[in-house]
Structure 1
Amino acid sequence: MGVIFASLLLFFLIVLSYIYLNRNKRAGIRDGAKLPPGSLGWPYIGETLQLYSQDPDLFFAAKQKRYGEIFKTHILGCPCVMLASPEAARFVLVTQAHLFNPTYPKSKERLIGPSALFYHQGDYHCRLRKLVQNSLSLDVIRSLVPDIDSVTTSALHSWTGAHLINTFHEMKKISFEVGILAIFGHLEAAYKEDLKKNYSILDAGYNSFPTNVPGTPYKKALSARKRLSKILGDIIHERREKKVGKKDLLGCFLNSIDEEGEAISDAQIEDNIIGVLFAAQDTTASVMTWVVKYLYDQPKLLQTLKKEQQEILELNYEKNQPLNWVQTRNMPMSYKVVLESLRMASIISFTFREAVADVEYKGYLIPKGWKVMPLFRNIHHSSEYFAEPHKFDPSRFEVAPKPNTFMPFGSGVHTCPGNELAKLEILILIHHLVTKFRWELVGSQNGVQHSPFPVPFQGLPARFWNIAHHNTVHTKMDPN
């Protein structure tokens, strides 16, 4: 029996060795190459189960504590190198960006569209990015202040009456409306409703298991994507027929002719419109939801903001005028709250890149074809760069952070071009929130859900009350 057991054990070890060696070959690892420390986990499965069986932040933090600021793992079917230092993030996203292509699972690419800006590098990316930046320049978003102001106040007033709301879901409605404004300007109500209905189905299926089985969220999302193309095609055709020269995103796309006289195709426009909606909605809504929680948790900070915003409100009340662009640029404490919310929440926890060649970094090999993930959240929450990193402290931004330690919108050529619009949206929300409303959070006020962006538990259930104008200076947040 002993001989048989020993033979079986030897056979088992040989099989494991064969699997391991072949996995290295499939992953493109050279013999004798020095890979970053870490574990690739089980064959095929890797460490995906460990990642999704706990808070992803805990998974990455534990890995960093054990292996340091560069380590390897294997998740979602891909060997990966994780980078948790500002220098490494700059290496991948800025100085050697040409060696690392943006990459996303094909299942997700099908829903957004293969021509979307963030799937590309090179000339096509530069052309599209410039158009998006032009449509979201400071001069353009300045003109959006009255409309964003109107969308925000309307939404906030609809929450009042002590009925329970899901704060995150309601914030998504605001960010969707602002996205529509930036893309189309004032869009007909019928078009807007059709877009909202079908985009919500696509959004619900984006992070579901990618199967084409009828009735599944992913299959429904694919069908909604086809309907979105039809709706957008109709809007594009109508805009061309009217020949209206608007400076919104659609106008920039329609008026673009490259050096060879080529226009952007309708399919490319559709993909990029859906991509911008996707990039703008959940991320901004998540941050605005966290702002509500952070301010509720810090009454003294809230009173400081109320004082700053009340001065603006009183001036506008006396002059019978709405909030304006200049005022949004002169909210120093509120702006620090926005920055600290972006740091603490770190909605974009990491980004995906893929090595297009074997790359050496600090003596380690990053093999061609491996995914590379700069971990923004780990950097933002590092005590090496931010004192008491898990404490919400806007005053830390009285001094500019060290270079490459604060990247809420990414870095390099793929930095989010809508970052100024997002910050404006949050500032306008803060202005109306702290001067005209009080609120209480309901249920568990701790915990984070990842869907896929981090949001407070259950979307932060809350109740809101409108407060009279003359009481805004002295009203306290405690509804009791």
Structure 2
Amino acid sequence: MWAIGLVVVALVVIYYTHMIFKWRSPKIEGVLPPGSMGWPLVGETLQFIIPGKSLDLHPFVKKRMQKYGPIFKTSLVGRPIIVSTDYEMNKYILQHEGTLVELWYLDSFAKFFALEGETRVNAIGTVHKYLRSITLNHFGVESLKSMLPKIEDMLHTNLAKWASQGPVDVKQVISVMVFNFTANKIFGYDAENSKEKLSENYTKILNSFISLPLNIPGTSFHKCMQDREKMLKLLKDTLMERLNDPSKRRGDFLDQAIDDMKTEKFLTVDFIPQQMFGILFASFESMSTTLTLTFKFLTENPRVVEELRAEHEAIVKKRENPNSGLTWDEYRSMTFTQMVVNETLRISNIPPGLFRKALKDFQVKGYTVPAGWTVMLVTPAIQLNPDTFKDPVTFNPWRWNDLDQVTISKNFMPFGGGTRQCAGAEYSKLVLSTFLHVLVTNYSFTKVKGGEVSRTPIISFGDGIHIKFTARN
């Protein structure tokens, strides 16, 4: 009996050893990049989510670059992935989107946004073009020119509110401000009179994109999916109200989507809420994180605040009426402000990278990318390259005086690249610049506590950054 048991145990050990070997050494035609696949299913996910205690490139990527070079293989949440920090490879892959690669999301992200089945396929082509078009229509330059006074009013209102409250956690209050304003522009969300505080739901789901997508009770992913369903129901209810009562129309993003249902077959009563959900999430997290980092940098660099204040006070002094609002020409004239914004975007690198999925086997830089594998283009590695940016994690807006346009175009991609560059880029930069204008011309501010940051691999702020605002005379 004991002999039979030992044989069974031996067979099990041999079987799983064989499976692990196959996982770590996949058979392909060609040469895979060096690297480790970790353990089956889990891969190297646990190492990927260990926080990095600085704004530098995440330790997961940095350690493997030092060990394997700029291109290596790994596995995250059960997916085989080739990671590239190489500019030439990243450019090549972005140039061949639709032929060699397609857009891909981590499984948990895909399930949040229902990017599966037919919708998932459509998102690669027709749907993406439509989403980019409608976003530019409502958040592109021409729309932003008329939206600028409303953005400025929104910032005045919120900064005055924060100044009356004592120290505030700026990540929290900025997140609420950005979400409420963007949601109002997309579907008329009225935060003050709504029973649902939607910005809180977005905060809850943020840290679950790289978790294993186990939608079972008790897991954080399950709770996030519940929060997602709650939000989608509210968005769908708003859509149905407008479909049933044209008097509720307000000429916004949602109304255009309703009008386009006549010609775009993929615009259904289930898809439109998904569309709004994704756009809200993108603007909510990116702008709130970037603005919060701006406060960290400004409180640590008073000389930057002095030069910002000088630039913006000069703008106000040139006006015939000093109480008039910010104009588009004034916004475009903010030379130093743009340097501050660029430097913050360069260091922040909010997404860990761009994800693409190989449509077929192809060779690049001497390696084979197998069909079905994911490619993670680590664009932060370019923006934190010490060969291009001296002391790359040091906040130094003046460095932009010495960078030529060719260097910038090759090494600065805060809004992605290729055909999928973020359609909300100008909206983000306008909000950031206008925020700085209202801030330095009307308020003084001091950090009370906090300021520690980490990458998990997205940026988190620990106990937050608490700022005390004081109105200036």
What TM bracket, shorter-length normalisation? 0.7 to 0.9
1:23 is the counterpart of 2:23 = yes
**Residues 412-451 of structure 1: per-residue CA shift (max 9 Å, x gap):** 122111010000110111111112222222345444253x
Distance 2:461 2:82 in 1: 28
Structure 1 residue 387, shift from structure 2 partner? 2.7
| Equivalent residue number for residue 269 of structure 1 | 272
Matches within 5 A, 1:44-63: 44-55=41-52, 57-63=58-64
Please state whether the residue corresponding to 1:131 is helix, strand or coil.
helix
1:296 aligns with 2:306: no
| 1:255 CA displacement | 2.2
Is the 2:450–2:464 contact (alpha carbons within 8 Å) kept by the matching residues of 1?
A: no
Alpha carbons 1:164, 1:463 under 8 Å: kept = yes
Q: 1:36: how far off?
A: 0.6
Amino acid across the alignment from 2:73: K
Give 1:279 shift.
0.6
Residue 149 in 1 paired to residue 152 in 2? Answer: yes
Q: How far apart in 1 are the matches of 2:419 and 2:462?
A: 33
Specify whether residues 263 and 59 from structure 1 end up closer, same or farther in structure 2 by C-alpha distance, changes over 3 A only: closer
Indicate whether 1:348 and 2:351 are aligned: yes
Tell me which residue corresponds to 1:406.
412
| Superposition pairs of residues 5-16 of structure 1, within 5 angstroms | none
Amino acid in structure 2 at the alignment position of 1:290: L
Alpha-carbon spacing, 1:394–1:411, altered in 2? closer, same or farther (3 Å): same
Of residues 328, 331, 340, the one that matches 1:328 is 331
- Structure 2 matches for 1:204-215, cutoff 5 A? 210-214=213-217
CA deviation string 1:150-202 (max 9, x = no partner): 22122212222573321111110121023114313575854584544554555
1:403–1:449 CA distance, 2 compared to 1 (3 A):
closer
Structure 2: where are the runs of 5+ without partners? 1-6
User: Which is worse superposed, 268-277 or 57-66?
Assistant: 57-66
Contact 2:383-2:412 within 8 A present in 1 as well = yes
Are residue 440 (structure 1) and residue 456 (structure 2) matched? no
- Cα RMSD for the two superposed structures: 3.1
SS of aligned partner of 2:392:
coil
After TM superposition, give the deviation of residue 102 of structure 1 in Å. Answer: 2.0
**SS in structure 2 of the partner of residue 404 of structure 1:** helix
Contact 2:239/2:269 (<8 A) preserved: yes
| TM superposition shift of 1:320 | 3.0
Q: CA 1:459/1:316 → structure 2, altered by over 3 Å: closer, same or farther?
A: farther
User: SS of the counterpart of 1:66?
Assistant: helix
Tell me how far apart the structure 1 counterparts of residues 74 and 351 of structure 2 sit (CA, whole Å): 20
Q: What is the Cα deviation at residue 373 of structure 1?
A: 0.5
User: Quick check: 1:111–1:202 contact (8 Å CA) kept in 2?
Assistant: no
Q: Normalising by the residue count of structure 2, what TM-score does the alignment of the two structures yield? A: 0.86
Alignment of 1:233-272 (within 5 A): 233-240=236-243, 241-242=245-246, 248-256=252-260, 262=265, 264-272=267-275
Corresponding residue to 2:129 among 126, 130, 150 = 126
Q: 2:285 is matched with which residue?
A: 282
Inter-partner Cα distance in structure 2 for 1:224 and 1:445:
29
Please say if residues 41 and 73 of structure 1, whose CA atoms lie closer than 8 Å, have aligned partners that are also in contact: yes
Q: Which residue of 1 aligns with 2:3?
A: none
Distance verdict in 2 for CA 1:216–1:163, change over 3 Å: farther
Offset at residue 217 of structure 1 (A): 4.2
Q: Give the aligned partner of residue 68 of structure 2.
A: 67
Runs of 5+ in structure 1 lacking a partner?
1-6, 469-480
Inter-partner Cα distance in structure 2 for 1:42 and 1:181: 45
Task: Give 2:357's aligned amino acid.
Answer: E
Partner amino acid for 1:385? T
Quote the Cα distance in structure 1 between the aligned partners of 2:40 and 2:162. Answer: 50
Task: Return the alpha-carbon distance in structure 1 between the equivalents of residues 161 and 329 of structure 2.
Answer: 27
Give per-residue Cα distances to partners, 1:281-320, cap 9 Å, x unaligned.
Answer: 0111000011111111111121111001112234558343
After TM superposition, give the deviation of residue 340 of structure 1 in Å.
0.8
CA contact 2:81–2:373 (8 Å) conserved in 1:
yes
Equivalenced residues, count: 455
Shift of 1:265: 1.1
Shift of residue 327, structure 1, vs aligned partner: 1.6
Residue 140 (structure 1) shift: 0.8
- Name the CA shift for 1:409/1:247 in 2 (closer, same or farther; >3 Å): farther
Q: Which residue of 2 aligns with 1:113?
A: 114
User: What TM-score do you get using the length of structure 1 for normalisation?
Assistant: 0.85
Structure 2 letter corresponding to 1:420: E
Q: 1:335 Cα shift?
A: 0.8
**Aligned with residue 470 of structure 2, among 458, 465, 472:** 465
1:40 maps to 37
Q: Percent identity?
A: 27
Structure-2 change in CA distance of 1:117 and 1:333 (3 Å): farther
Stretch of structure 1 that moved more, 277-286 or 398-407: 398-407
Match of 1:476 in 2: none
Shift of 1:85: 2.0
Task: Check 1:369–1:456 CA distance in 2 against 1; reply closer, same or farther (3 A cut).
Answer: same
Look up the equivalent residue of 2:31 and give its one-letter code: K
Q: 1:386 is paired with a residue of what secondary structure? A: coil
2:191 & 2:391 partners in 1: Cα distance?
49
Q: Relative to structure 1, is the Cα distance of residues 263 and 91 closer, same or farther in structure 2, using a 3 angstrom cutoff? A: closer
Alignment of 1:181-196 (within 5 A): 181-184=184-187, 187=190, 189-191=192-194, 193=196, 195-196=198-199
1:379 is displaced (CA, Å) by 1.1
- CA gap of 1:60–1:107, structure 2 versus 1, over 3 A, is closer
- Contact 1:350–1:374, Cα closer than 8 Å, also in 2: yes
C-alpha distance after superposition, 1:384-437 (max 9, x if no partner): 222332222222323323433211011112211101000011011111111222
Go from structure 1 to structure 2 and tell me whether the alpha carbon gap of 1:209 and 1:59 turns closer, same or farther (over 3 Å shift).
closer
**Residues 290 and 348 in structure 2, CA contact (< 8 A), matched pair in contact too:** yes
2:242 touches 2:249 (CA, 8 Å); kept in 1? no
Q: How many Å separate the matches in 2 of 1:449 and 1:158? A: 30
Which residue does the alignment assign to 1:78?
79
Between stretches 359-368 and 94-103, larger displacement belongs to: 94-103
In structure 1, C-alpha distance between the alignment counterparts of 2:188 and 2:292, rounded to whole Å: 25
Higher relative contact order (CA 8 A, sep 6+): 2
One-letter code of the match for 2:295? V
* CA contact 2:23–2:37 (8 Å) conserved in 1: no
Take 2:212 and 2:319, find their aligned partners in 1: how far apart are those partners?
50
Moved more, 223-232 or 150-159: 223-232
Inter-partner Cα distance in structure 2 for 1:44 and 1:217: 18
The one-letter code sitting in structure 2 at the alignment partner of 1:387 is: K
Distance between the aligned counterparts of 2:466 and 2:189, measured in 1?
31
Look up the SS of the partner of 2:72 in the other structure: strand
Contact 2:451–2:464 (Cα < 8 Å) also in 1: no
